[in-house]
Amino acid sequence: MLLEVLLALVLGAVVLLVLRRSKAAVLKTEDGWWGAGSPPAGAEDESIRPFRVETSREEIEDLQRRIDQTRPVPSLEDSQFNYGFNSTYLQKVAAYWRNEFNWSKQVDKLNQYPHFKTKIEGIDVHYVHVKPKNLPEGRTAVPLIMVHGWPGSFYEFYGILPLLTEPANADDVAFEVICPSIPGYGFSEAPRKKGAWTRLGVPQARAAGVAIANMRLCSGRPGFNSVCAARVFLKLMRRLGFGRFYAQGGDWGWQITTNMAQLDPTAVKGLHINFAPVENVGPLVILSILLGRRFPGLFGFTELDVKRLYPRVEKMLVEPLKETGYFHIQATKPDTAGRGLNDSPVGLAAYILEKFSTWTDHEFRNLEDGGLERKFSLEDLLTNVMIYWTTGSITSSMRFYKENFAKGFYPPHARIPVTVPTGVAAFPNELMHTPKLWAKQKNHKLKTYTTMARGGHFAAMEEPGLMAQDIQKFIKVVEGKK
């Protein structure tokens, strides 16, 4: 009798598991048009045009004039970076920017790699295309797309590009890298269309099959969100002649490359991510949160996992609340939030660089200078800021948050797993820590999971060597298996 019951239970569990797996649908999407007005009749211009970053004396003088016009407000005594960017240190950064930073020189640095633009779905998409210079006979470069996040840019990858395209080690893979700019960021044109949502009452929502669990009961066409960006980047890779390629990303880059793998699993050979927040909190994750401290071995929790996740309330509620104010205002009122930052370069720098401080290490909040120059040079940091400043793209970059959270925190792609080989590089100071068990819930083909020695959110910029090493490790596992 007992044996039969046990057998039935096991069978039931297997059936459930199989059913769950088979529900793993492919992410669907529709085409879009993001240019001004209506799409023109006829085929889209698919030409690829070379692009050079340029500047002018007017641009630099205007910047310097605005920096001179800054009206600083002293920070509270002994507040360091706890109230945001410290005023005293900000004056130092502004002085450097005004007197020593050489934008012309940085523009030359940006142009050391070839840039291009091409029109996709009505908007100009910018990207950098880097091919290895010295490829040995008979070897082909492996195509790789690397996607940035907010408040970063393609420039974050300039440190790691040489390590990937000209690896020192003979048996390392040499990559051909595409670094696009997300539409609305930097040199990529911003989408002109918003999401068209109609609000539904509960009975209408039920009839339309919209999940009530979604915070916003609505139906309609989404605005330019990560799935749209993924679709655009898939088109880009196809246009460039890459049938199969690898993808790498952190922050929004993680979301977009994940969506690419969900939209077209055959095109994405492998997915390497350095950011992997849990979107779909299932029973296993909840169980591990409840019991993980007492029984870490049961869930495969390492020492780092326990340190980063507990005490629960502080690490999973209070800390995120302290750091997500920008997220909240950008996801609701991006045009208001970005308005002042587009006129005040110092305000823009404070807003962006605060993240480069706090997201590299939370402890930096207690330092007078936010520890900013410990891991980055002011030159590199301000070059990234200049990309937002000279293109006036801060507001459109913020709109991306609103478009992605229009349907609440539980959009369709959050429920669909990733079925391409995935590698996770877990940096110890990343904003949200994801233990291996949690990463496996979403990424069903997790090939590598590495606890990195050091580094925070802007991993590619902060620790390019470590990141390149892990990408090589991941590629070898995926290619080796073939």
Partner 1 sequence: DAFSENLPTKALQELDRPKLQLLALSSVGIGLTYFLVWRRKAKKSIPLGDGWWGHGQQTLRDDNKIYPFKVETSEDEINDLHRRIDQMRYTEPLEDCGFQYGFNSNYLQKVVSYWRNQFDWKKQVAKLNEYPHFKTNIEGLDVHFVHVRAPHRPGQKVLPLMLVHGWPGSFFEFYKILPLLTDTKDDLAFEVICPSIPGYGFSEAPHKQGFCSLDAARIFLKLMERLGFNKFYLQGGDWGSLITTNMAQMKPQCVSGLHLNMLAVTKGGVGMLLSLIIGPYLPFLVGFTREDVRRLFPYFEKNVYDLLMESGYMHIQGTKPDTAGCGLNDSPVGLAAYILEKFSTWTDRKNRDLEDGDLEKKYSLDDLLTNVMIYWTTRSIIPSMRFYKENFKTNPQNRVDARTGIFVPMGHAAFPNELMHCPLPWARWRFKDIRSYSYMPRGGHFAAFEEPRLLAEDFVKFVRKVEGKKR
| Enzyme catalytic residues | 251, 401, 457
Strand partners, 112: none
State which residue, 342 or 441, has the beta carbon closest to partner 1.
Answer: 342
Contact call for residue 90 and partner 1 (CB under 8 A): yes
Asked if 177 and 164 touch (Cβ cutoff 8 Å), the reply is yes
User: Candidates 5-13, 160-168, 333-341, 421-429 — which segment interacts with partner 1 by CB under 8 A?
Assistant: 333-341
The size of the interface with partner 1 (CB under 8 A), counted in residues, is 62
Contact call for residue 335 and partner 1 (CB under 8 A): yes
State which residue, 295 or 409, has the beta carbon closest to partner 1.
Answer: 409
Among 32, 152, 222, 223, the residue binding partner 1 under the rule CB under 8 A is: 223
Among 73, 170, 213, 313, the residue binding partner 1 under the rule CB under 8 A is: 73
Contact call for residue 437 and partner 1 (CB under 8 A): no
Asked if 222 and 228 touch (Cβ cutoff 8 Å), the reply is yes
State which residue, 85 or 449, has the beta carbon closest to partner 1.
Answer: 85
State which residue, 342 or 419, has the beta carbon closest to partner 1.
Answer: 342
Among 39, 243, 311, 340, the residue binding partner 1 under the rule CB under 8 A is: 340
User: Candidates 244-252, 266-274, 328-336, 430-438 — which segment interacts with partner 1 by CB under 8 A?
Assistant: 328-336
State which residue, 12 or 325, has the beta carbon closest to partner 1.
Answer: 325
Contact call for residue 402 and partner 1 (CB under 8 A): yes
Contact call for residue 395 and partner 1 (CB under 8 A): yes
Show contacts with partner 1 in window 13-42 (CB under 8 A).
Answer: 36
User: Candidates 2-10, 65-73, 170-178, 380-388 — which segment interacts with partner 1 by CB under 8 A?
Assistant: 65-73
User: Candidates 40-48, 122-130, 142-150, 188-196 — which segment interacts with partner 1 by CB under 8 A?
Assistant: 188-196
Token digits of residue 135: 């490829």
Cβ 396 to partner 1 shortest distance, Å: 7
User: Candidates 166-174, 295-303, 390-398, 415-423 — which segment interacts with partner 1 by CB under 8 A?
Assistant: 390-398
Among 26, 83, 206, 363, the residue binding partner 1 under the rule CB under 8 A is: 83
**Cβ contacts of residue 212 below 8 Å, gap of 6+?**
202, 205, 206
State which residue, 261 or 353, has the beta carbon closest to partner 1.
Answer: 353
User: Candidates 117-125, 257-265, 389-397, 431-439 — which segment interacts with partner 1 by CB under 8 A?
Assistant: 389-397
Contact call for residue 325 and partner 1 (CB under 8 A): yes
The greatest distance separating any two alpha carbons of the chain, rounded to the nearest whole angstrom, comes to: 87
Contact call for residue 66 and partner 1 (CB under 8 A): yes
Per-residue three-class SS string for the chain: CHHHHHHHHHHHHHHHHHHHHHCCCCCCCCCCCCCCCCCCCCCCCCCEEEECCCCCHHHHHHHHHHHHCCCCCCCCCCCCCCCCCCHHHHHHHHHHHHHCCCHHHHHHHHCCCCEEEEEECCEEEEEEEECCCCCCCCCCCEEEEEECCCCCCHHHHCCCHHHHHCCCCCCCCCEEEEEECCCCCCCCCCCCCCCEEEECCHHHHHHHCCCCCCCCCEEEECCCCHHHHHHHHHHHHHHCCCCCEEEEECCHHHHHHHHHHHHCCCCEEEEEECCCCCCCCCHHHHHHHHHCCCCHHHHCCCHHHHHHHCCHHHHHHHHHHHHCHHHHHHCCCHHHHHHHHHCCHHHHHHHHHHHHHHCCCHHHHHCCCCCHHHHCCHHHHHHHHHHHHHHCCHHHHHHHHHHHCCCCCCCHHHHCCECCCEEEEECCCCCCCCCHHHHHHHECCEEEEEECCCCCCCHHHHCHHHHHHHHHHHHHHHHHHC
Contact call for residue 188 and partner 1 (CB under 8 A): no
Contact call for residue 192 and partner 1 (CB under 8 A): yes
Among 64, 87, 91, 451, the residue binding partner 1 under the rule CB under 8 A is: 87
Among 392, 453, 454, 465, the residue binding partner 1 under the rule CB under 8 A is: 392
Among 6, 14, 208, 215, the residue binding partner 1 under the rule CB under 8 A is: 215
Cβ 118 to partner 1 shortest distance, Å: 22
Return d(Cα 98, Cα 191) in angstroms, integer: 32
CA 57 to chain centre: 33
Contact call for residue 342 and partner 1 (CB under 8 A): yes
Distances, alpha carbon 435 to alpha carbons 274, 292, 309, 339, 382, in Å? 12, 11, 9, 38, 33
Among 27, 32, 53, 85, the residue binding partner 1 under the rule CB under 8 A is: 85
Within 10 A of 74 (CB to CB), how many other CB atoms are there?
A: 9
User: Candidates 39-47, 83-91, 105-113, 309-317 — which segment interacts with partner 1 by CB under 8 A?
Assistant: 83-91
Cβ 194 to partner 1 shortest distance, Å: 4
Contact call for residue 245 and partner 1 (CB under 8 A): no
Is the bond preceding 345 in cis, omega lying within 30 degrees of 0?
no
Cβ 60 to partner 1 shortest distance, Å: 15
> Rule CB under 8 A: which residues touch partner 1?
36, 62, 66, 69-71, 73-79, 83-87, 90, 190-194, 202, 215-216, 223, 321-326, 328-344, 346-348, 350-351, 354, 392, 395-396, 399, 402
